[in-house]
C-alpha cells in the first residue's frame, strides 16, 4: 500500500517559525487569562471546618472549642452562611500549632531534595510541586527551585516563563558568577508557605556559562555553584525542593550535588525503566570523574524511587514493577501514584490535586489520587525528619555533618 504524500504549501523559513512561536505564546496568554479569570493569577484553595479538622487529626468539635480561645484564625462563614471556611494561610497557622513538635528543630537547616529523571513525561514536575504543596500543608516552609529552562514548574505556579520571568529571576546569575547567593531570585507565590526561584528559556545559558567558567577560572568547581548559592538561605526554610531538566545537564548535576536526597518518579513501563538505568549509570560515571578522582565524595541521606503514572489496567506493568523492585530494592517507596482522570484534569488547568477545593468528577477517583499523594508526602516527611534527627546527633559529635561528607 502506497503511503500518502503530504504536500507542504511552501518552504518554512525561520521567520515562519518565529511567527509560529509568537502565536503559541499569545495562545498561552489567552488560556491562562480564561482559566485564571478574573485575576489572571492562581488562587490558593479554601478549606472547610471538616477539612481542617481532618488535617489536624481531631474532631470538628475540638476545633470549634479551640477557636473560643481566640489564639488561632477563626475563618469566616461563606456567602450563604452555611459553612465556615478557612484560607490556606489560616489552615497553615493551625497546622503549625498542632504539629509544632514535628517541624524543623531549632538550629537545624533545610533538607534539600532534587526531583530527577533522564526522561520527560514521568510526572517529575508534578511530583516536585505536589511535594512542596503537601509539605506546606503539614506546616513546613518550602523553597522551590526550577532549574529546567522549559519552566514547567514555574508555569504550575501561574507564572509564564517567556513573559514573566527575567534572567535575574532564575539561577543563571549564579551560574555566570555575577551572584553568589540565590536570595536575589526568590519570590513569593500564590501558595502560602512556598517561595519560588523560577526558570525560563534564558536559563539554557547556564549550560554554556558553567563549562566556560570551568576552563577559565582556576579552582572553579562548576558542580558546587547551586550548593554554595543556597547556603545563605538553608536556615530560613524547612525544605528546599529542586526540579531538574529531563537530562543529565550541568544544572541537573548542580541540583544533585546540592541535595541531601533524591526522588526519581518512575512509571512502570519498559522505556522509562531503561532510561532510568542509563541515568544512574551516567551519573555514577560523571560523579566519579568529578569527585572520586579529586579525592572527594558525595553522600545522599536518602534516594527514593516513586512509582508514578501507574495504570492499574496495564497488566504488563506488573512485570516491570518486579524489575524495579529487584533493581532499587529498599529505595522504592511503598506508595504508587495512580494514573487517573484527576491528574489529567488538574494538569490541564495548570494545577495539582492540592489546588482543588472541590472536584466536579468522581469523589472516589479524587480521593484515590489525593490519598496517594498524601501518603507520598508523608513518607518523604518521615525521611526529612530522620535527616534532622541525624543532624541532631552531629551536634553531639557522633557523626560527620553534611559539609564534611562532601569534602
Predicted confidence at residue 315, as pLDDT, reads: 79
Report the alpha-carbon angle 216-219-222, nearest 5.
75
CATH entry 1.10.1660.10 includes domain 47-98: yes
Q: Looking at 104-108, 301-305, 363-367, which range is the least confident one?
A: 363-367
Which has more confidence, 382 or 349?
382
Predicted confidence at residue 93, as pLDDT, reads: 98
Residues of the chain with CATH 3.40.50.300: 102-405
How do residues 38-73 score in pLDDT, each as one tens digit?
456 789 999 999 999 999 999 999 999 999 999 999
Arch. (CATH architecture) of 102-405: 3-Layer(aba) Sandwich (3.40)
Q: Which residue carries 555533618 as its cell?
A: 401
Distances from the Cα of 264 to the Cα of 126, 130, 144, 205, 218, angstroms: 12, 14, 17, 25, 34
Average pLDDT over residues 368-379: 95
Residues of the chain with CATH 1.10.1660.10: 47-98
The percentage of the chain sitting over the pLDDT mark of 70, rounded to a whole number, equals 89
Q: Strand 76-77 to strand 84-86: parallel, antiparallel, or no bridges (unpaired)?
A: antiparallel
Note the maximum CA span of the chain. 80
Cα gap 266→331, rounded to integer Å = 12
pTM recorded for the entire structure: 0.89
Average pLDDT over residues 175-185: 97
Which has more confidence, 154 or 317?
154
Predicted confidence at residue 34, as pLDDT, reads: 63
Amino acid at each position: 500500500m502506497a503511503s500518502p504524500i503530504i504536500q507542504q504549501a511552501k518552504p518554512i523559513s525561520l521567520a515562519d517559525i518565529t511567527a509560529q512561536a509568537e502565536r503559541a505564546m499569545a495562545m498561552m496568554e489567552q488560556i491562562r487569562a480564561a482559566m485564571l479569570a478574573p485575576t489572571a493569577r492562581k488562587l490558593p484553595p479554601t478549606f472547610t471546618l471538616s477539612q481542617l479538622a481532618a488535617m489536624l487529626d481531631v474532631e470538628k468539635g475540638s476545633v470549634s472549642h479551640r477557636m473560643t480561645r481566640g489564639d488561632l484564625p477563626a475563618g469566616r462563614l461563606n456567602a450563604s452562611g452555611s459553612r465556615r471556611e478557612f484560607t490556606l494561610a489560616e489552615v497553615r497557622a493551625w497546622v503549625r500549632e498542632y504539629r509544632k513538635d514535628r517541624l524543623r528543630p531549632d538550629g537545624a537547616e533545610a533538607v534539600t531534595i532534587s526531583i530527577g529523571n533522564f526522561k520527560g513525561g514521568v510526572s517529575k514536575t508534578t511530583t516536585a510541586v505536589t511535594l512542596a504543596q503537601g509539605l506546606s500543608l503539614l506546616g513546613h516552609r518550602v523553597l522551590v527551585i526550577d532549574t529546567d529552562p522549559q519552566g514547567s514548574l514555574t508555569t504550575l505556579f501561574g507564572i509564564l516563563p517567556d513573559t514573566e520571568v527575567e534572567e535575574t529571576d532564575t539561577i543563571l546569575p549564579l551560574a555566570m558568577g555575577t551572584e553568589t547567593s540565590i536570595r536575589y531570585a526568590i519570590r513569593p507565590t500564590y501558595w502560602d508557605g512556598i517561595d519560588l526561584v523560577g526558570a525560563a528559556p534564558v536559563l539554557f545559558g547556564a549550560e554554556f556559562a558553567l563549562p566556560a567558567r570551568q576552563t577559565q577560572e582556576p579552582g572553579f568547581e562548576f558542580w558546587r555553584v547551586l550548593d554554595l548559592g543556597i547556603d545563605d538561605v538553608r536556615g530560613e526554610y524547612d525544605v528546599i525542593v529542586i526540579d531538574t531538566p529531563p537530562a543529565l545537564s550541568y544544572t541537573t548535576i548542580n541540583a544533585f550535588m546540592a541535595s541531601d536526597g533524591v526522588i526519581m518518579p518512575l512509571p512502570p513501563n519498559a522505556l522509562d525503566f531503561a532510561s532510568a538505568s542509563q541515568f544512574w549509570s551516567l551519573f555514577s560515571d560523571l560523579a566519579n570523574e568529578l569527585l572520586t578522582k579529586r579525592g572527594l565524595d558525595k553522600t545522599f541521606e536518602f534516594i527514593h524511587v516513586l512509582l508514578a503514572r501507574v495504570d492499574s489496567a496495564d497488566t504488563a506493568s506488573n512485570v516491570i514493577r518486579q524489575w524495579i523492585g529487584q533493581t532499587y530494592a529498599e529505595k522504592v517507596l511503598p506508595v504508587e501514584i495512580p494514573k487517573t482522570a484527576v491528574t489529567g484534569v488538574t494538569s490541564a488547568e495548570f494545577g495539582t490535586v492540592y489546588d482543588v477545593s472541590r472536584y466536579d468528577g468522581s469523589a472516589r477517583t479524587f480521593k484515590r489520587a489525593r490519598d496517594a499523594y498524601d501518603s507520598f508526602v508523608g513518607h518523604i516527611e518521615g525521611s526529612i525528619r530522620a535527616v534532622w534527627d541525624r543532624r541532631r546527633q552531629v551536634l553531639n559529635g557522633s557523626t560527620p555533618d553534611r559539609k564534611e561528607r562532601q569534602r
